[in-house]
Amino acid sequence: MIRVLLSTRLFTEGFEKLNNDYEVVAPSSPFFSKQEILDLIGDFDAFIPTFQFKVDSEIIDAGIGRLKIIANYGVGYNNIDVDYATQKGIVVTNTPDPVIESTAELAFSLMLTVTRRLAEFDRKLRLPDGLPWGVMENLGHTLYGKTLGIIGMGRIGQAVARRAVAFGMQIVYHNRNRLPLEIEYLYNARFLKKNEVMKISDVISIHTPLLPETHHLIGKDEFEMMKPTAILVNTARGPVVDEDVLIRVLQLNEIYGAGLDVYEFEPQINPKLFLLDNVVLAPHIGTATVESRLQMNQFVTQNIVGFFEGRIDITRVN
């Protein structure tokens, strides 16, 4: 019988076909340790890791002989040594579709929370001295009429653009390749060079994968181009932004603020960020909704079942 190993305890809903047709082993605790996976994986045909679990060459070597597919639980797959898996003849898949709307929702939530200073006000209202009330107190900014710059106009970037249009924002974007004109027309979006996007945008939203060429894509030069009233939102991957530089510009109020769901060295967060009122922090929850998790379960199931049935309509990344 085909055996499937999960790195993390997940909902059982959505995994019905796997549970009925295959033998599925999941941890009784929240997740297996690396050593536990090393001890187990050699006896499994498929492995489902979450973004928190690093699938390095040691893990892959431990699975060689039986392991045929690593079905990543997420759209980003920088937690997996894909090149090494490819060398060893192991297929790697991801789950791009279920993460789109939930991640776009979070990106927009961060935009609103930063511009209207909601997290800051919530914290301060709970203090004994509270906050002063008045017409000229507690001012933020509105998104209506502002320019949203999207770095990485894939499906998540476009889902953010769709929401921005409803808020009356102007859309500019930078992408590895320009989108077809009919897609640009949907959002009245303009394709610009990255530097131009950084200069004219009131909000920058990052939606690129983490690749060697996107590491520190937003660094010292890019922050110097941004308006002092601009905000940065990152729901992609932490190392796309040079976090040390970001902290410095926030400390000096050289930009208005930032909303972060991802961090350069997560799960560790630079403690300097905790001291800043002009940054909103979330614990990598872009896809963390019940609905998304159930859809991801179904999508992972389709990838594994499709692979073993010999179908080509699986979302391979190698």
Catalytic site positions:
237, 266, 284
The reply to whether omega before 132 is within 30° of 0 (cis) is: no
CA–CA distance, 260 with 83 (Å, rounded to integer)? 29
Angstrom CA distances, 200 to 103, 158, 246, 283, stand at 24, 19, 18, 29
Gap between the terminal Cα atoms of the chain: 26
Residues 306, 311, 314, CA angle at the centre, nearest 5°?
A: 60
Is 14:295 a contact under the CB 8 Å cutoff? yes
- As to burial, measured by CB atoms within 10 angstroms (0-12 exposed, 13-18 middle, 19+ buried), residue 288 is middle
DSSP state at residue 318: -
> Residue 219 corresponds to which tokens in the numbers above?
């660094």
